């Protein structure tokens, strides 16, 4: 047995292993060919056998001679290649059966190793045998089990296997003898001679290795005999270079020590800068959160009362227009606040996305409903090509809705009176394009390169576009974060076309797309509360208290409204007379909303009372903190009157008239 660590052993293992694999592959191929040939022979025999019995079986089926039919099927079964026979009529009813007939799931004989080889013969009536329009009586199916073919190839398998073993063994002996005599022994001699070489420079001429042949091994011997001369010449050069390297190494070690000191100093400086940046980021977030609350709190009263006044149809038309103007101005200011917070979250990398298949139709209807009143004010013809927007995209529903509303609002805002805004969709390979086209003023060519720059308010017809100039910047970053692209085409005086491309998706068949409700509202009331109920509002801002009180006084007279100006008073009121629902601000004097919520949950009378945060803290981390603290819902100021009424309808049921 060869030693597989030697050159001989490794060569033998390589060649013999490859040959063994080849022999196995050839043997298997021969067996497969033999097996396929036997199956073809059996198939031909089955075909001939079926043709010889087809007439008799057809007569028996035509006359429905059951004894004769059974006798014929048993006669067919006597053939060695047949494992089973069955006869069925045209309706699929089995008339006769003999031997092993597989179930329907096992009748597939298309593969080479199929369990059964089958052959079907269509049976025709003897009465119509001479006619071209024959009457089909049914079919006769013959089955030959795989064991029949395997039994016939057993002898061939033994012959092929013995032949392969003899050839493999012979090759092994010949190759082992040749590689040992012609390669291994000369190499051993060369190895022994190399071990005796002395490579020191002053020990005389090394012994010469003698090899009589001028083959590859002879060339190796000549190279070994010349090696001593070359090594002697280079030895001194190596000694000189080693000395130079030692000096260079000492200099490099000193430079490395200096570099380590500089790296330590730089690391310390970077750590200080990192801590300062983190502190600045925290201060910025706290500032934005506080500014958001301070701006949203008065905006809640402004927008709330403007909506209440707009609902009072007893007011003169002039007053209603003034209320509408206040509402529009307040919403513009709210949009600015939201855009600044959104841009801050994007720059801080805090914007999270929930990508899922979203149906376009309900989303577009929702966006149209938001901008419909803006279009009506300017008599803009707002339309959509609904037939092209039946698909779905992989996106974040709320973020895509935000971008669409912004594009539609821009198309309406910068359009002419009685202009048009049209929305359409188009499948583009694996993406779906949504396009908003307007007939408005268009964008000058020299302004277009700056369209997606932050705080860039482009001039239009000698004036300035309203807004802070960050809406398109936010839209672009949102779409690109959802693996999409946004672009535009525009000519001054001829209108603009803005488009979005997002990956197309297929909606799950198990569930339909659900409608979205108020942002950050996740109410699950279980059973709706009935009868006259009390709603408690804990708020320190007088304007917001008065707004909520007027809302309940005018629009939800079926509910009793009470309020407290701080958390301590609210907790005492809830303990004395537990309300059905509590609205509570987060930033309260003394005890804040989180502390008050914990106190309410500790009291048995209010432990299960629903508590909804109604606050101006609208940062993403504020919402997450509020929901994690245990609020049943989190509503940011300013809220829409209609949405608040919808929440109360969901919680208490609609007010009876």
In terms of average pLDDT, the best of 339-353, 422-436, 530-544 is 422-436
Sign of CA dihedral 575, 577, 582, 587: negative
What is the chain's Cα-based Rg?
45
Three-state DSSP state, 109:
coil
pLDDT in tens, 401-422: 889 988 998 899 888 888 999 9
DSSP secondary structure of 3-19: -TTSHHHHHHHHHHHHH
pLDDT in tens, 59-94: 888 888 888 888 888 888 888 888 889 999 888 888
Interval 379-394 mean pLDDT: 84
What was the pLDDT predicted at 523? 39
* Cβ contacts of 190 within 8 Å, gap of 6 or more: 209, 211, 217, 220, 221, 224
Number of neighbours of residue 268 by Cβ within 10 angstroms? 10
Three-state DSSP state, 392:
strand
Nearest-angstrom CA–CA distance, 211 and 419: 101
Task: Tell me the angle at which helices 567-576 and 593-602 cross, rounded to the nearest 10 degrees.
Answer: 20
Q: Which residue carries 């037939």 as its tokens?
A: 387
What was the pLDDT predicted at 529? 41
Sign of CA dihedral 122, 127, 130, 131: negative
Does the structure show a pLDDT above 90 at 591?
A: yes
Q: Which two tokens stand for residue 465?
A: 């576009």
Cβ-count burial 229-264 (b if 16+ within 10 Å, e if not):
eeebeeeeeeeeeeeeeeeeeeeeeeeeeeeeeeee
pLDDT in tens, 468-495: 457 788 888 889 888 999 999 888 888 8
What was the pLDDT predicted at 126? 60
DSSP for residue 183: I
Q: Contact, 34 vs 156, CB < 8 A?
A: yes
Q: Contact, 299 vs 330, CB < 8 A?
A: yes
Among residues 425, 424, 410, the alpha carbon closest in space to that of 380 is found at 410
What was the pLDDT predicted at 568? 94
Give CA separation, 295 vs 300, 327, 468, 617, 633, in Å.
Answer: 9, 15, 16, 10, 21
Nearest-angstrom CA–CA distance, 175 and 187: 17
Q: Contact, 400 vs 367, CB < 8 A?
A: no
Nearest-angstrom CA–CA distance, 580 and 630: 17
Q: Which two tokens stand for residue 258?
A: 């200096």
What was the pLDDT predicted at 315? 76
Among residues 227, 56, 62, 74, the alpha carbon closest in space to that of 134 is found at 62
What was the pLDDT predicted at 133? 62
- Band (391; pLDDT cuts 50, 70, 90): confident
% of the chain at pLDDT higher than 70: 76
Number of neighbours of residue 395 by Cβ within 10 angstroms? 28
Nearest-angstrom CA–CA distance, 537 and 516: 26
Measured torsion, CA atoms of residues 497, 502, 503, 509, in degrees rounded to the nearest 10: -100
Does the structure show a pLDDT above 50 at 510?
A: no
What was the pLDDT predicted at 151? 80
In a 13 Å sphere around the CA of 19, the CA atoms on its Cβ side amount to: 15
pLDDT in tens, 231-250: 666 766 777 788 888 888 88
């Amino acid at each position: 047995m060869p030693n597989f660590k030697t050159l001989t052993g490794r060569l033998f293992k390589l060649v013999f292993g490859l040959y063994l694999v080849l022999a196995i592959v050839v043997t298997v191929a021969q067996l497969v060919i033999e097996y396929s040939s036997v199956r073809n022979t059996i198939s031909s025999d089955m075909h001939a056998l079926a043709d010889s019995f087809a007439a008799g079986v057809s007569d028996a089926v035509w006359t429905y001679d059951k004894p004769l039919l059974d006798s014929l099927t048993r006669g067919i079964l006597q053939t060695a290649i047949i494992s089973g026979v069955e006869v069925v009529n045209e309706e699929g009813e089995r008339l006769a059966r003999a031997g092993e007939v597989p179930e329907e799931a096992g009748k597939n004989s298309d593969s080479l190793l199929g369990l059964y080889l089958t052959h079907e013969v269509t049976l025709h009536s003897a009465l119509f045998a001479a006619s071209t329009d024959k009457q089909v009586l049914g079919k006769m199916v013959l089955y030959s089990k795989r064991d029949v073919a395997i039994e016939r190839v057993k002898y061939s398998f033994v012959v092929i296997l013995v032949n392969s073993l003899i050839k493999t063994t012979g090759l092994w002996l010949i190759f082992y003898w040749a590689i040992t005599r012609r390669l291994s022994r000369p190499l051993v001699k060369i190895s022994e001679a190399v071990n005796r070489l002395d490579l020191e420079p002053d020990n005389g001429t090394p012994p010469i290795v003698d090899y009589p042949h001028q083959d590859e091994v002879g060339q190796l011997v000549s190279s070994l005999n010349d090696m001593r001369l070359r090594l002697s010449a280079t030895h001194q050069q190596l000694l000189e270079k080693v000395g130079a390297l030692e000096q260079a190494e000492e200099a490099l070690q000193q430079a490395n020590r200096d570099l380590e000191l500089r790296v330590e100093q730089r690391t310390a400086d970077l750590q200080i800068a990192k801590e300062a940046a983190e502190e600045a980021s925290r201060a910025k977030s706290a500032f934005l959160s506080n500014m958001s609350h301070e701006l949203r709190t008065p905006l809640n009263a402004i927008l709330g009362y403007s909506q209440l006044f707009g609902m009072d149809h007893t007011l003169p038309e002039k007053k209603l227009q003034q209320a509408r103007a206040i509402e529009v101005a307040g919403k513009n200011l709210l949009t600015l606040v939201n855009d600044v917070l959104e841009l801050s979250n994007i720059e801080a990398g805090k914007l999270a996305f929930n990508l899922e298949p979203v149906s376009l139709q309900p989303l577009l209807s929702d966006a149209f409903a938001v901008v419909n009143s803006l279009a009506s004010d300017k008599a803009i013809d707002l339309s959509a090509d609904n037939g092209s927007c039946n698909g779905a995209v992989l996106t974040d529903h709320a973020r895509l809705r935000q971008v669409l509303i912004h594009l539609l609002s821009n198309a309406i805002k910068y359009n002419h009176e009685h202009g048009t805004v049209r929305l359409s969709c188009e499948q583009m390979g694996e993406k779906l394009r949504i396009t908003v086209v307007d007939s408005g003023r268009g964008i000058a060519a020299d302004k277009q390169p700056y369209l997606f720059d932050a705080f860039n308010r482009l001039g239009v017809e000698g004036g300035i576009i309203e807004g802070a100039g960050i809406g398109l910047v936010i839209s672009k970053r949102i779409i690109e974060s959802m693996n999409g692209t946004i672009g535009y085409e525009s000519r001054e005086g001829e209108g603009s076309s803005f488009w979005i491309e997002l990956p197309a998706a297929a909606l799950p068949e198990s569930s339909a797309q659900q409608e979205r409700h108020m942002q950050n509202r996740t109410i699950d009331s279980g059973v709706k509360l009935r009868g006259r109920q009390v709603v408690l509002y804990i708020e320190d801002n007088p304007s917001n208290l008065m707004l909520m009180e007027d809302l309940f006084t005018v629009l939800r007279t079926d509910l009793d409204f009470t309020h407290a100006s701080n958390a301590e008073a609210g907790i005492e009121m809830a303990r004395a007379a537990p309300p059905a629902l509590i609205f509570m601000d987060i930033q309260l004097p003394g005890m804040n909303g989180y502390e008050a919520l914990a106190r309410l949950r500790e009291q048995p009378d209010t432990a299960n009372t629903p508590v909804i945060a109604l606050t101006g803290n609208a940062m993403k981390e504020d919402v997450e903190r509020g929901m994690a603290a245990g609020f049943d819902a989190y509503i940011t100021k300013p809220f829409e009157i209609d949405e608040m009424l919808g929440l109360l309808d969901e919680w208490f049921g609609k007010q009876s008239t």
